[in-house]
Amino acid sequence: MPKPFEEWTVLPHQPIEKLEDNLWRVEGRVDQLRRVMVVVRLADGRLIIWNGIALDEPEMKELEAWGRPTFLVVPNALHRLDARIWKKRYPGLTVVAPPGAKKKIEEIVAVDRSDVDFGDAAVTLTFPECTRAREALLTVKHAGGTTVVINDLVMNMRHGPGFGGFMFRMMGFTSDKPKVVPATKLLLVKDKPGLKTLLQQLAATPDLKRVIVSHGDPIVDGPAEALRHAAAF
């Protein structure tokens, strides 16, 4: 994993996916690790950038035309790679981080808020207690239902080829179904029964349409069942 960037650095990424009227997703890569940025458009046109990833200029212009980047959510202390360069590009961004990860994130970028009301009833940001508030979780309501945005608590990456794929498989990062990976249980989760309860509660989200994770494919086929399966770790 490279060090957090000092200048705008674009790594390989896919085109913007326009999932809903208020929800976009972009998938990129750092070596063989898949990573995901989510952009949420609030009712007044302000944008929430979740896990910011530097994009090519045409796509950045498209994003800016869609709304005004206002909030940068750094969802945990492991997702700081592009945080400084997003703040540098948009100095007016309000940087939001989990309270339990604030100290570590501030080694890279100053944190403005750990409690925030976006002023839009469709969007809710929480910091699960089972992680000692070191991880963020976002819920977005839209015309098609509700999307839950999970960071590292669940991964959804399939087995890959080559030595890198072999190593990811041995470390438990890849699987044939969404899962809570061993590194997450070791590094982030301090209350495993609490995480099981959280995932079961998320599975019961009314009108749950999809779950977006920061590493891997969105969970769109049976998202509630997938979360209940992940909760059985």
Between residues 162 and 20, the one the model is more confident about: 20
**Chain segment 51-64, per-residue pLDDT in tens:** 999 999 999 999 99
Query: Which band of pLDDT confidence, cut at 50, 70 and 90, is reported for residue 185?
Result: confident
- CB of 78 closer than 8 Å to CB of 96: no
Predicted confidence (pLDDT) at residue 167 exceeds the cutoff of 80: no
- Across the chain, the runs of DSSP E, i.e. the strands, are 17-20, 23-30, 33-41, 46-50, 68-73, 94-96, 123-126, 137-142, 145-150, 208-213
pLDDT value of residue 173: 72
Between residues 174 and 122, the one the model is more confident about: 122
pLDDT value of residue 19: 98
Query: Which band of pLDDT confidence, cut at 50, 70 and 90, is reported for residue 172?
Result: low
Give domain limits for the chain.
Answer: 17-230
CATH superfamily of 17-230: Ribonuclease Z/Hydroxyacylglutathione hydrolase-like (3.60.15.10)
**Chain segment 12-38, per-residue pLDDT in tens:** 999 999 999 999 999 999 987 899 999
Predicted confidence (pLDDT) at residue 218 exceeds the cutoff of 80: yes
Query: Which band of pLDDT confidence, cut at 50, 70 and 90, is reported for residue 204?
Result: very high
**Chain segment 146-159, per-residue pLDDT in tens:** 999 999 999 897 76
**Chain segment 81-132, per-residue pLDDT in tens:** 999 999 999 999 999 999 999 999 999 999 999 999 999 999 999 999 999 9
Predicted confidence (pLDDT) at residue 1 exceeds the cutoff of 80: no
Q: What are phi and psi of 75, to 5 degrees?
A: -75, -20
Between residues 93 and 233, the one the model is more confident about: 93
Query: Which band of pLDDT confidence, cut at 50, 70 and 90, is reported for residue 233?
Result: confident
- Helix, strand, coil shares of the chain, percent, nearest 5, are 25, 30, 45
Q: Which of 123-127, 169-173, 210-214 has the lowest mean pLDDT?
A: 169-173
